[in-house]
Amino acid sequence: MSSNINYLPYFRIYIVWHQKFFNGLELAKHLFSNICGDPKHPLLQGLGIPVHFCSVPFTEETTLPKPINIKKCLNSAIFIFVDNNMVVCDNWRAYIEQLYDNKDLINPYHHIYPVAFTEYFYNLSQKLNKIQFIEGIYGESDVTQQKEKLLRNILHICCRQMKQIKQIEENISLDNDITAPVKLFLSYTRHDGHEITKKVHDWINKDQILNTFLDTKDIHSGYNFVQEIEKVLKSCAMLIFQTDAYASRYWCHWEVLTAKKYKIPILVINAIKAGEERSFPYLGNVPTVTWQESQIYLIIRKILLEVLRHQYFPKYVDNLKKIRNIPEETIVLPFAPELLNLVQYWQENKQREETLIMYPDPPLGDNEINVLNLVNSNIKAWTPSQPVTSIATDDFKKPLSGKVVGISISDSPDLARLGFSDYHLKRALLEISRHLLAQGASVAYGGDLRQDGFTQDLIEMVKAYNQQENNKLEKKILSFLAWPLHLKVKEDVTWRAQYRNEISIQAIPLPEDIKQQPFEINDQEFLKPEGKENCYVWMRSLTAMREQMAKQIDARIILGGQVTNYKGVFPGIAEEAALTLSNHKPLFVLGAFGGCAKAVGEALLGATPLVLTWEEQAAQSQTYAETVEFYNQRSRLGSPHPAIDYNALIKTFHDTGLQGMNNKLEESENRALFESEDLDEMIYLILKGLQKQT
């Protein structure tokens, strides 16, 4: 891997709204799910474009969100949701105008796009009135239609901006206006596809966002339609109306093959009624949608996503080469490779000993890879989540095979003010886990997996991993459970049977001394964490689990984390970090999401975070303060555990420092990992440190 850690994401989207805008967060999450990745469908990675939120006040002293630092990415699109709350707020006006005046806001690399959510949007700022607002969104009475119309506008704007950036970067001379709308080529057969094609064509014209190319309308009499179609296809995306007769038409075949030759975005609209005598084989390997006249908006959304994927992914990989071990000669495809691609690229590159192809996640199954290799064994293909060192050679040993990596994560109280949400935290967990699993590691997690939204997605990843032909069946998730939590899991036989092949339950028993007087706890009965004595038992049990976990894992990653309402001796992530260090295991600290992990990182840097002081913790909960007093009294009476001492906890982190975390990263790299807001850089640094352990 490269030593260059001064990595900047190629493109980033900011969503800015007043905290009192009633559905601002709902709209922002809808955009995140479609443009970055959908946390509800972790196996579909999405476009992966970073989306940051700017709404919640950054500090208690201000009503404004965290300032946008444009220098933290190469290119950005900033969408400002202007509603009445923003219009009447002088502080927000100043915030927006300061952003507008930013000397680094250079078109087209960084651009502001105000979105009108009130008819009085023009009263926000005279400066913003020089910019064309995105209008017509707030007029939609239905929330679903509002979300979809906003998404279509933003996808289209990003496509146009990326096109402008590409022209400048690559010095491409285009015949048409680079700010022109995305054009859709409508491929259909007049025999039975004219009616539905016209409906889509009319809907697009009414929506007024995109342009279309329709042969009957856009090819003038007397012109060579073959030449005209081939010329226009190079700069279009294609909608294919797959009706019963489509696969039997020669010119439909020609349009599809020409589109694939130029690698343009394609979406198939499946409108087959009776069936086909023979399906056209080259309609595969592209997204599809079933024809429903009431959901034409879904067709437009999906084709715009494909256009943006085709524009973003190659640039993303080119930028990723700065920090990943990706050979310069790698061919980058914005879609999964197919046999047709191999024929095309083999003809172009048959003199090479091997042809390397990178395509978007998720990875192809081994059955598809094996078919591709039958045609040409010198072609090797992989995704950004797969280790290049093993895929690009004949050695398929995963770099982290046999390693167990613990992940400590929970909701952070700082997410919103730092420009994130629970969606961002979940995506970070999923992408880090995806890369660990791809490199052969197992993931260890402390807690009841049945109750955690994060872990169900980990299970689905492992199931997909185990289904690969070249992988042996492995339990790639280790679930460490403290007493009495594992009692309920043991009772849930259905859940254990369902995930028997993915999860290994590590049930840690109740400490022996608690079974004796004065507690005499029955370790077969569940104990509620009520009252100081019961809470004391829970503290002891959680520490026993964390101590055992720290001994069994090979490294730990911490991010987010609560600093209140916990049941352990310290905030959970702080205790797990300290135990990792005391067992001389590598520790990786991600501070971007705030919470306990950020506090641990600050302590490693020599500070004394308020949330890791006894005074702060005792003030937040009387029950906790009473339990700690009882806990320390038991320690003085000879119970086999030290007293709870926040000063000692802080001293552990101070004495360790960034240079003492055993993770093989340089101090500057650990600082970058702690401060980075970019998930790619986080993953790169974690994998770099872990691979050095082997």
DSSP 379-429: EEEE-TTS-HHHHSSS----TTTT-EEEEEEE--TTTGGGT--HHHHHHHH
382/227: higher pLDDT:
382
Tokens of 50: 């970073």
Taking the C-alpha atoms of residue 490 and residue 492, their distance in angstroms, rounded to an integer, is 5
Q: Phi/psi at 565 (nearest 5 deg)? A: 60, 40
Instruction: Taking residues 549-575, report their average pLDDT.
Output: 96
pLDDT of residue 41: 76
At residue 219, φ and ψ (nearest 5 deg) are -105, 115
Q: Which CATH number describes the domain made up of 12-170?
A: 3.40.50
Mean pLDDT is lowest, of 127-141, 257-271, 336-350, for 336-350
The predicted pLDDT at position 653 comes to 98
Question: Residue 498's pLDDT is what?
Answer: 86
- For residues 58-78, give the mean pLDDT: 93
> What DSSP character marks residue 364?
P
Top-confidence residue, 37 or 178: 37
| Cα 199 from Cα 179, distance rounded (Å) | 26
pLDDT in the model for residue 352: 60
Summarize the confidence of residues 444-448 as an average pLDDT.
Answer: 83
H-helix or E-strand spanning residue 12: strand 12-17
Residue 628 DSSP SS3: helix
Least confident among 194-203, 275-284, 453-462? 453-462
The answer, yes or no, to whether residue 173 has pLDDT greater than 70, is: no
Contact 402, 553 (CB under 8 A): no
Of the listed ranges 150-159, 237-246, 390-399, 596-605, the one predicted with least confidence: 390-399
Closest CA to 599 of 590, 588, 611: 611
pLDDT at 439: 86
According to the model, what pLDDT value does residue 1 have?
A: 45
Measured between alpha carbons, how far is 363 from 357 in angstroms, rounded to an integer?
12
The residues, any chain, with a CB within 8 Å of residue 62's CB and separated by 6 or more, are 91
Per-residue CA distances from 80 to 107, 120, 308, 375 (Å): 17, 14, 21, 50
- Top-ranked range on mean pLDDT: pick from 131-140, 373-382, 414-423: 414-423
Contact at 8 Å (CB) between 393 and 430? no
pLDDT category of residue 644 using cuts at 50, 70 and 90: very high
Long-range contacts of 167-170 (CB under 8 A, 24+ apart): 168/108
Average pLDDT over residues 183-198: 94
- How much is the average pLDDT of 95-116? 93
- Cα Dmax for the chain: 100
Neighbours of 205 (CB within 10 A): 11
Separation of alpha carbons 64 and 66, rounded Å:
7
Q: pLDDT at position 45, please?
A: 67
User: Which amino acid does the sequence have at 412?
Assistant: S
pLDDT over 90 at 458, yes or no: no
CA dist 431 and 529 (Å) reads 34
CA dihedral 273, 274, 275, 276 (to 10 degrees): -110
When the pLDDT of each residue in the chain is averaged and rounded to a whole number, the result is: 88
Of 366 and 114, which is predicted with more confidence?
114
SS3 category, 78: strand
What is the structure's pLDDT at 347? 59
Give the pairing type, strands 266-270 and 288-290: parallel
552 pLDDT higher than 70: yes
Residues 6 or more apart whose Cβ sits within 8 Å of residue 82? 114, 115, 116, 117, 118, 121, 124, 128, 133
Task: Say if residue 355's pLDDT is above 80.
Answer: no
Instruction: With a cut of 60, say whether residue 178 has pLDDT above it.
Output: no
DSSP symbol at 111: E
Q: How far apart are CA 99 and CA 80, in angstroms?
A: 11
The pLDDT, as a whole number, for residue 473 is 65
Write out the two tokens for 128.
Answer: 């913003």
Question: For residue 231, what pLDDT band results from cuts at 50, 70 and 90?
Answer: confident
**Angle, alpha carbons 443-445-450 (nearest 5°):** 115
Q: Which CATH architecture best describes the domain 183-311?
A: 3-Layer(aba) Sandwich (3.40)
Question: Residue range 294-303: average pLDDT?
Answer: 94
pLDDT above 70 (res 169): yes
- Say what the alpha-carbon torsion angle 208, 212, 215, 218 is, to the nearest 10 degrees: 70
What mean pLDDT is predicted for residues 219-228? 59
pTM recorded for the entire structure: 0.92
Write out pLDDT tens, residues 483-531: 998 998 888 898 889 888 888 899 999 998 888 878 888 889 999 999 9
Q: What's the Rg (C-alpha) of the chain?
A: 28
pLDDT in tens, 378-393: 778 888 887 765 554 5
How far apart are the C-alpha atoms of 603 and 613, rounded to whole Å?
11
Q: Which of the 8 DSSP states describes residue 283?
A: G
Mean pLDDT over 601-624 rounds to: 95
Q: Confidence band (pLDDT; 50, 70, 90) for 606?
A: very high
Measured CA to CA, the distance from residue 575 to residue 556 in angstroms comes to 12
- Domain borders along the chain are 12-170, 183-311, 331-391, 404-693
Q: Which of 122-131, 515-524, 540-549 has the lowest mean pLDDT?
A: 515-524
Report d(CA 188, CA 247) in Å as an integer. 10
Task: Return the closest-CA partner of residue 345 out of 54, 354, 383, 55.
Answer: 354
Q: How far is 531 from 519, CA to CA, in rounded Å?
A: 13
Q: How deeply is 551 buried, as exposed, middle or buried, from its count of CB atoms within 10 A (0-12, 13-18, 19+)?
A: exposed
For 34, half-sphere exposure in the C-beta direction (CA atoms, 13 angstrom radius) is: 23
Structure confidence at residue 598 as a pLDDT band (50, 70, 90):
very high
Side-chain half-sphere CA neighbours of 174 within 13 A:
15
pLDDT at 271: 96
Highest mean pLDDT among 41-45, 206-210, 211-215, 609-613: 609-613
Same fold, 12-170 and 183-311: yes
Specify the pLDDT at position 95: 96
The residue behind tokens 């003010």 is 417
